[in-house]
Structures are given as structure tokens and as C-alpha cells.
Amino acid sequence: MTTGFFGDITKIPFEGADSQNMLAFHHYDPDEIVMGKRMEDHLRFAVCYWHNFAWPGGDPFGGQTFDRPWFPDRISDGMQAAKLKADVAFEMFTALGVPFYCFHDADVRPEGSNFAENTKNLNEIVDYFEQKQSETGMKLLWGTANLFSNRRFMSGAATNPDPDVFAYAAATVKTCIDATNRLGGENYVLWGGREGYETLLNTDLAREDQQLGRFINLVVEYKHKIGFKGTILIEPKPQEPTKHQYDYDVATVYGFLRRHCLENEVRVNIEQGHAILAGHSFEHELAMAGALGIFGSIDMNRNDYQSGWDTDQFPNNVPEMALAFYEIIKAGGFTTGGTNFDAKLRRQSLDPEDLLLAHIGGMDCCARGFKAAAAMYEEAALSNFVKDRYAGWSNPEAMKMLDGTYSLDDIAAYVEAADVNPDPVSGKQEYLENVVNRFL
């Protein structure tokens, strides 16, 4: 018995590039072998709960546009609504054939009147999820706590001036790690929703940094205490909702991790739209995480390049995906991480079918980009070029400059004695861009 929300659609088939059926995959075949591994195991797709099932379609100028049978205007019993929502969610996960899903506590359980009631509600839904996971084979990519929607968090969670809010947030994260652990989650995400400031006039930056550092350390200590095997991930974002978010970008988060001795414990979950808001490209953030050894997972969406906010649209730009997945492959690919669609419909896309079409398109787009990236990586034209470009560093005099043998005055003496007189070499950017285009 299904809920009937998606009519008679129960499974989206793979039909190949020539099919005109838009409720089929054209490029994503989970069983296709790329670089010796199934596509499903490379891409590790996840569907998010919040945008698909909890968001009513509002924007700053208007409220609900979607009509969903589990919304409060249709059912008043919160737990009954949460279970219907879960039924539909798992029907969608199954129809799409994605292996993973992700959720915040507030997406899945009714809001209680206090902390104890929230925990009780969450645990009741976790029981329900446990049963659904074993029926469907679905797995949890990550769990997380919503520490930004409720007004108690308006001035931050871990970085709140009020220690009671810090305590409430810490206690909430404990319940969410417990839930994630019970469901076999492969990661736990911390996106610093309101960890930032609106005005420096009321903010003690140094103190808030200390609070956030202690908070993340508490999370890591608890992870080890309960034997949670997943990876702890921080999701950088430069602004929105606060004017300035502390986890600005990958490099900023790395500095924070080093400052609080967390660099071997925490990795990053990089979102395309957040990279754009930070004035970077997605591939820049991915490459930076790879270079710093903290790459974890991705939130896959796209920002509108003309709007200065997090528009969370489904990806549809294959060349961009190719460059992104090229960096992911270079960073070693996903281990516990995956490709989570933190993306939402446009608020005019009212039909249940639109939820399926959005994900089909996003998955096909990622598959095309990934296959191009894999071919590019295997041919190694780009990486060989880079290797040759730095080849001079393997000569013994050059090595002495980096390994501590030479001091600044030794180098000056060497330059004079050997009459060092560098000859500039072409960076060949257009050639390299043309190489990339061969794969698209």
C-alpha cells in the first residue's frame, strides 16, 4: 500500500540518453562501471528532508504555495502528520533509487512544548525510520540539528550571549547525534545556522569563537564516548541568515579547526551555493578542502548568479559539475560523504511530480559531469601538465630551499654563484581549457 502521493509512480527507470520519457534517467545508471566502481557507489546520492517535505514554498513576500497532505492545514495531529510525511518521503527515496537521505530534527518530528517533549517526539520518529530503513534498504547519510529556526536561537546557538541557549543547543545536538547513531548515519553535520553576528556593536568576537570551539569539541568528545563511527562535518557559509557567519568558507573553517585542535576530527560539507556566496567557485572550495586534507561531503545545488542569496536550485550545468567532480576525484572521492541534494523546487512548481523531475534532472546532470570528470582524470592530460609545471622542484638545489637546508642568505649566495636568471614559461590556460572542453 502506498500513500498515492505520487500517483502510480513507484520506480524511475534508467532508459538512456535517447529516451523521451522525462520520468526516466537518461544518464544516471547506478550500475554503470566508471573507474572500476558502480556509479551509485561513486556518487552516493542523498535526498534532503527539509526542502522537499518540510518547506511550504514561502519566500520573504509570501507564504505557503504547496498543498501537501501532511501540512498543518490538512492534519492537526502532529505525530500523525510526521508519519505520513515519512511515508511519502520514503516512497520518493525508493522511486528515485537513491541510497541515502538526510534530515534535521525539526524536519521530521512535531515541535514539542519543551526539550523533553522534543526528544520524545524525535525518538518516536527514529523508531519509525528504523523500521522504514529496514523495509527499504535506505541509509542515512547524515543527521543534523536545526539550531536556527526557533526564536530561542535568534542570537546564535553555541555563540549565544546567554549560556542557557548554549546548553539547550548542546543538549539538542546530543539527542540528534544519538538519533543519527541509532540509524547508522555515516556523518553528522553542523551548519552554523545563526553562528555569526548582525552588528559588531553588540558582539564579543573573541568570546564567541571560544564558545564555538568548545561546542564543537563537546560534540567530538561525545562522538567518541558513544562510539559513533561517522564523520563530523562542518558546512561553511559566509552569510545568510546572519550578516557575517563565522564558518565563512573552507579556509576559514580550517583556521578555526586548527585554533581549537579539531583538524584531525572534523571535515567539511561543501555546498555549491555557499561557495558562490563566499565569492568562490564550487571547485575552488573543493580543491581547497582537498589540499588541506579535510574534504568530506557535498551539498549539491546551484545558486542563481544574479541573486545574492542562497537560492538552492537543482543543478543543471554539466560543465560546472565536471569541474567539481574532477576536484572530488582528485581529493580521493567520497568515503563517508556523498552528494546530498540540498536543493528546492521553485515555489510555482506545485505538482508532486515536480519533486521527482527535479531530482531526476539533478542526478542526470551530476552523472554526466562525473563521467566527464572521470575521463579527464583517467587521461591525465591535465594532471601531467601540472606535474611538469612543478618539475623543477625535484632538483637538489630547489629541494634545499624547502627542507630547511638553505637559509635566506644561503639562497642569496646560491643565486649569485649560479647566476640564476629565470626564464618565464607559458601557463597555457587556453590550451588547458580546450582540453577540458574535449570531455564535455
The residue ranges that bind ligand XLS (CB under 6 A) are 104, 144, 189, 191, 235, 237, 271, 299, 310, 342
Interface segment toward Ni ion; rule CB under 5 A; list 1-9, 109-117, 134-142, 335-343: 335-343
Catalytic residue among 26, 105, 107, 312: 107
| Nearest residue (CB) to ligand XLS, 268 versus 373 | 268
The phi and psi torsions of 196 (rounded to 5 degrees) equal 175, -160
Q: Smallest gap, in angstroms, from Cβ of residue 154 to ligand XLS?
A: 16
Q: Smallest gap, in angstroms, from Cβ of residue 235 to ligand XLS?
A: 5
How far is the C-alpha of 325 from the C-alpha of 44, rounded, in Å? 13
Residues near Ni ion (CB under 5 A), total = 4
Adjacent-strand bridge partners of 46: 100, 340
List the single partner that 180 binds among Ni ion, ligand XLS, none, CB under 5 to 8 Å by kind.
none
| Nearest residue (CB) to ligand XLS, 91 versus 312 | 312
Adjacent-strand bridge partners of 188: 143, 232
How far is the C-alpha of 308 from the C-alpha of 299, rounded, in Å? 18
| Nearest residue (CB) to ligand XLS, 147 versus 365 | 147
Interface segment toward Ni ion; rule CB under 5 A; list 32-40, 269-277, 285-293, 356-364: 269-277
| Nearest residue (CB) to Ni ion, 88 versus 300 | 300
299 is an interface residue for Ni ion by CB under 5 A: yes
Interface segment toward Ni ion; rule CB under 5 A; list 96-104, 194-202, 284-292, 294-302: 294-302
310 is an interface residue for Ni ion by CB under 5 A: yes
Q: Smallest gap, in angstroms, from Cβ of residue 163 to ligand XLS?
A: 23
Residue 107 falls in the annotated catalytic set: yes
Q: Smallest gap, in angstroms, from Cβ of residue 320 to Ni ion?
A: 17
Catalytic residue among 104, 260, 274, 284: 104
Residue with the CB atom nearest ligand XLS in the bound state: 191
Q: Smallest gap, in angstroms, from Cβ of residue 275 to ligand XLS?
A: 11
List the single partner that 144 binds among ligand XLS, Ni ion, none, CB under 5 to 8 Å by kind.
ligand XLS
| Nearest residue (CB) to Ni ion, 178 versus 299 | 299
The phi and psi torsions of 234 (rounded to 5 degrees) equal -100, 135
Out of 247, 249, 342, 364, point to the residue binding Ni ion (CB under 5 A).
342
Alpha carbon of residue 211 to chain centroid? 24
Site string for Ni ion, 117-146 (x = CB under 5 A): ------------------------------
How far is the C-alpha of 194 from the C-alpha of 316, rounded, in Å? 29
249 is an interface residue for Ni ion by CB under 5 A: no
Alpha carbon of residue 69 to chain centroid? 29
| Nearest residue (CB) to ligand XLS, 94 versus 340 | 340
Q: Smallest gap, in angstroms, from Cβ of residue 49 to ligand XLS?
A: 10
List the single partner that 285 binds among Ni ion, ligand XLS, none, CB under 5 to 8 Å by kind.
none
Residue 164 falls in the annotated catalytic set: no
| Nearest residue (CB) to ligand XLS, 144 versus 313 | 144
Active site residues: 104, 107
Can you give the binding site for Ni ion, defined by CB under 5 A?
A: 271, 299, 310, 342
